Amino acid sequence: MAPPTDADALLTAARAGDRGTLARLISLVERGGAAAHEVGRTAHLQGGQAYTIGVTGAPGAGKSTLTSALVRHLRADGDRVAVLAVDPSSPFTGGAILGDRVRMGDHALDEGVYIRSMATRGHLGGLALATPEAVRVLDAAGFPWVVIETVGVGQVEVEIAGAADTTVVVVNPGWGDAVQANKAGLMEIADVFVINKADRPGAAETRRDLEGMLALSSGAGGDGSWRPPVVATVAVDGQGADDLWAEIRRHRAHLESSGALARRRADRLGDEVRRILTARLLERATAATGGARFADLCGDVAARRLDPWSAADELLAGS
Ligand SMILES: Nc1nc2c(ncn2[C@@H]2O[C@H](COP(=O)(O)OP(=O)(O)OP(=O)(O)O)[C@@H](O)[C@H]2O)c(=O)[nH]1
Ligand SMILES: [Mg+2]
């Protein structure tokens, strides 16, 4: 057996409930670089048990309030849960994160709940690379459930939410909200829809819009075997949270019994390897020949002295 590494010792401490160490591990993977890779390597081999739930939707849709209600259900079942609030806009702590702390405040003293905000902070691959690494750490630290909250604007955030085992898309009543969600690409990633703030007028119309759009699409997963349900909630007073929880569990059971869960996870890991490989190749091709060589060749391509394929071949050959 390989001798224990630093990452090993840190993950063992995190698994034993040391929150300071857990926070440190996530900061490490957020920063990227060699230490982050070491943690990722060790955590990957120890994990594979956590079930991830993505919660996404427009700013202010009620994602954090709803997440807090979900956490309450999980805790009632006795399960430990981690929440990652992904905030792409804030370099460190913005108002939104502060808001999340307050809204999830009911769980602040609960040892079985771990809440963490993620920001870009200049990580090389940004949130797209840092978030799966943080999930990996939480998985290895023994959390059976990880909820990932992202604002559903921008390709990266939609991608992050869509990479969960079950993705919950939150919309609000009101003209055009469902149409906006569709435009943002949320329709394809939704496994469960929530119409939150159902105490406001227009919930029935929004449901009709969503169901109309769903009838036209094949739904997440694309094989047509799962039709995303639409749940109405009033997150502020917990109304509908049981229905949402029941649908998430039903979706999980569907993925497990059909074999789709293992397939989805394998596909996701394949994508990750591809992303890393692409980044590495680009790094190597540009580093070995120097940034100037890259710029020169691009100049030749722009001047039509060279075609893009040959330029790429030359860079790879020199790497
Ligand atoms: N009327 C009503 N208000 C709600 C409901 N759910 C949440 N809110 C309110 O909507 C506001 C936004 O809620 P959050 O849970 O912070 O929403 P969010 O989607 O996490 O917001 P960001 O993370 O900032 O994008 C808060 O003032 C909540 O109290 C609801 O069901 N009904
Ligand atoms: Mg929030």
Q: Model confidence over 179-193: pLDDT tens digits?
A: 888 887 888 899 999
Record the tokens describing residue 104, joined without a space. Answer: 């999830």
Q: Which residues have CB under 6 Å of ligand 1? A: 59-65, 96, 99, 103, 151, 196-197, 199-200, 234-236
- Tell me, what's the pLDDT at 130? 83
Ligand 2 centroid distance, CA of 136 (Å)? 22
pTM for this one? Answer: 0.87
pLDDT interval class at 177 (50, 70, 90): confident
Give the three-state DSSP class for 112.
coil
CA–CA gap between residue 64 and residue 217 (Å, rounded): 28
Mutating to test ligand 1, I would choose from 236, 239, 243 the residue with most ligand atoms within 8 A of its C-beta, which is 236
Ligand 1 centroid distance, CA of 64 (Å)? 7
pLDDT interval class at 59 (50, 70, 90): confident
- Sheet-wide strand order for 81-86: 113-118, 81-86, 145-151, 51-57, 166-171, 192-196, 230-233
Ligand nearest to the CA of 170: 1
- Specify the pairing of strand 166-171 against strand 113-118: unpaired
Ligand 1 centroid distance, CA of 59 (Å)? 9
Give the three-state DSSP class for 151.
strand
Record the tokens describing residue 7, joined without a space. Answer: 């990452």
Ligand 2 centroid distance, CA of 254 (Å)? 28
- Tell me, what's the pLDDT at 88? 57
- Tell me, what's the pLDDT at 68? 92
- Average pLDDT of the residues of the chain: 85
Is the pLDDT at 44 greater than 80, yes or no?
yes
- Tell me, what's the pLDDT at 102? 47
CA–CA gap between residue 95 and residue 259 (Å, rounded): 41
Task: Indicate which residue's Cα is closest to atom 1 of ligand 1.
Answer: 197
Ligand 1 centroid distance, CA of 174 (Å)? 15
80 in Cβ contact with 115 (< 8 Å): no
Is the pLDDT at 71 greater than 90, yes or no?
yes
71 in Cβ contact with 105 (< 8 Å): no
The alpha-carbon radius of gyration of the chain (Å, integer) is 21
Is the pLDDT at 248 greater than 90, yes or no?
yes
Task: Indicate which residue's Cα is closest to atom 10 of ligand 1.
Answer: 62
CA–CA gap between residue 12 and residue 22 (Å, rounded): 10
Burial of 192 (0-12, 13-18, 19+ CB in 10 A): buried
Enumerate the H helices of 77-166 as residue ranges. 95-103, 127-140, 155-162
Ligand nearest to the CA of 84: 2
**Ramachandran area for residue 307 (φ above 0: left; ψ -120 to 50: alpha; else beta):** beta
